[in-house]
Structure 1
Amino acid sequence: MVTETPDNASSKQESAGTRGRGLRVLAFTAVAVAALSVALSGLALLFAVGVLPPLRKTDDLERQLHAYILANPEVILESVKGLEARQQAAANSEAAKVVSERQDEIFNDPDAPVGMNPQGDAILVEFFDYNCPYCRQAAPLLGKLENADKGLRLVFKEYPILGPGSVFAARAALASRKQGKYLAYHQAMMSYEGRITETSRLDVAANVGIDVERLKKDMQDPAINAAIKRNIALAEALRIGGTPSFVVGKEVVRGLVDEATMKRLIASARGS
């Protein structure tokens, strides 16, 4: 029996992230191959029904199809786009079902830190990584929205997928709650310039008044690793593979969006 330490968990999460990126590359390759197959089948049908010129006896079907594709490369692009659109629609439908079925886990998890308006009537959930440059870009926007809308409740889901530094930072952030310093630490980390490492995240902690030695001990709490694992599993169920990603109302938003879009989503969530 192997006892999983926090560091073992960190390594496994990093490996999972690496495997995930590799699988996405393979998935795209599969999409392209599938699209090519669809295109070739469609072209064969066009020959059969007479839309394309009939095959000459001296010509080989494969050579004619190859020539047609070279002359009309948009056929492949259109096939790939169509297949991707169908896959995205399926992913969105699956994610909407998860949002409907797991409301409390997404919006009301007591282990998930919240922003400055804990009693807000509109909830915006962010899945983020401290080493994600787009998450750092999103932070000022979220702060602006919070300050302007006292009914907006932010829920933070630590989703460390960019290496060991990200995992260390997420664990430290969750441990900082025991000293009442989560928001101060979170904001400092999001404004940090450079890559977050084990050393830098402790420096940031000290700069916002956190007792670093106590923080190190609190980070060993098994509940912290458990919370991060739940976030990762929830993100996978929601078909979230990158950061930042948001859940607001009934929608899952993957990637950074502008202020107008975010306001529209928040208004829609409040209306529902």
Structure 2
Amino acid sequence: MKRLLATSALLTAVATAGFAQDLTPMTDEERALFRAEVRSYLLDNPEVIMQAVEVLQTREAEKQAKADFDLVAQNADALFDDGYSYVGGNPYGDIVLVEFLDYRCGYCRRAHSEVAELLETDGNIKLIVKELPILGDGSVLASRFAVAVKQLAGGDSYKAIGDALMSFQGDITLPALRRLGSTFGLDMEAIEARMDSEDVTAEIAQTRALAGALAINGTPTFVMQDELLRGYLPLQQMQAIVSDKRG
């Protein structure tokens, strides 16, 4: 509603200014009469306002998309070749999908199974996972745990732990993570020591910095090839984007 009112006011002002250029000089009485006529026209033809709103929204979306394409290009190395992020799916796939996630994010959990299905059914997509804990201490703890597992036990263990964290019920605490790690046969003493290490801290900090550079303020956020996709996307929409990228 605020956008609608603002657009209406802007439309009136622009129309008034535009005609004023042709009719100047106008007296105060003439200007008041003209404004009243414009107002009357808009009230009689409110669809004009809605059309203006649609045009404004389209232009804003196009402007945002262009800015996002530029951001991806400017940060390509950090996105696609940082040297530490987990790589899954097909490492040699013709499509690269980057996901910024938080294990406590409801939409990340919803997207998790759909991303897995996309990778399985397509077979030619490379997945890069970026840890972006933004939902409090529990998210940070889970992310530190997952990164420590990756650094010490490798990608397969990281994926298994990541899958488990995405379906984990209850509060994420250190005792809960100990129990979870033990079910996967992990050396939890070593994992816990690693969780507070500079290596884990640096990895998460670098991903946060990258997210800031990309103006990412929520999870999940995806990058598909050259395109930044903000928010949850259903499987069919992701499949359509993949098809479009392949031409």
TM-score scaled by structure 2?
A: 0.77
Deviation of 1:143 (Å): 1.4
Q: Which has the larger radius of gyration?
A: 2
1:124–1:153 Cα contact (<8 Å) kept: yes
TM-score scaled by structure 1?
A: 0.70
Structure 2: tracts of 5 or more residues without a match = none
| Residue 126 in structure 1 maps to residue 102 in structure 2 | no
Residue from 89, 103, 114 that aligns with 2:62: 89
Q: Which residue in 1 is equivalent to 2:84?
A: 111
Q: Which amino acid aligns with 1:217?
A: A
Deviation of 1:198 (Å): 4.6
| Residue 179 in structure 1 maps to residue 153 in structure 2 | yes
Distance 2:51 2:175 in 1: 48
1:39–1:75 Cα contact (<8 Å) kept: no
| Residue 41 in structure 1 maps to residue 17 in structure 2 | no
Distance 1:218 1:207 in 2: 19
Residue from 130, 138, 146 that aligns with 1:165: 138
Deviation of 1:214 (Å): 1.3
Q: Which residue in 2 is equivalent to 1:241?
A: 217
| Residue 217 in structure 1 maps to residue 193 in structure 2 | yes
Distance 1:84 1:228 in 2: 35
Spell out, residue by residue over 1:68-118, the C-alpha distance to the aligned partner (whole angstroms, 9 max, x if none).
989988787766665554443323212211222332221222111122533
Distance 1:195 1:35 in 2: 45
Q: Which residue in 2 is equivalent to 1:19?
A: none
Q: Which moved more, 1:184-193 or 1:76-85?
A: 76-85
Deviation of 1:120 (Å): 2.9
Q: Which amino acid aligns with 1:91?
A: Q
Distance 2:96 2:72 in 1: 13
Distance 2:83 2:107 in 1: 26
Distance 2:51 2:170 in 1: 40
Spell out, residue by residue over 1:135-192, the C-alpha distance to the aligned partner (whole angstroms, 9 max, x if none).
1111111212222233221110111111111111111111101123201100001111
From the superposition, tell whether residues 76 and 267 of structure 1 become closer, same or farther in structure 2 (CA, over 3 Å): closer
Residue from 220, 229, 250 that aligns with 2:226: 250
From the superposition, tell whether residues 71 and 214 of structure 1 become closer, same or farther in structure 2 (CA, over 3 Å): farther
Distance 1:80 1:199 in 2: 53
From the superposition, tell whether residues 62 and 110 of structure 1 become closer, same or farther in structure 2 (CA, over 3 Å): same
Q: Which residue in 1 is equivalent to 2:113?
A: 140
SS in 1 for 2:87: coil
Spell out, residue by residue over 1:23-65, the C-alpha distance to the aligned partner (whole angstroms, 9 max, x if none).
xxxxx98x78864652452364488589xxxx979x8999999
SS in 2 for 1:114: strand
Q: Which moved more, 1:183-192 or 1:219-228?
A: 219-228
Cα RMSD (Å): 3.7
2:97–2:223 Cα contact (<8 Å) kept: yes
| Residue 262 in structure 1 maps to residue 243 in structure 2 | no
Q: Which amino acid aligns with 1:263?
A: Q
Q: Which moved more, 1:37-46 or 1:161-170?
A: 37-46
Q: Which moved more, 1:214-223 or 1:193-202?
A: 193-202
Q: Which amino acid aligns with 1:247?
A: V
Spell out, residue by residue over 1:112-139, the C-alpha distance to the aligned partner (whole angstroms, 9 max, x if none).
1122533333211111111111111111
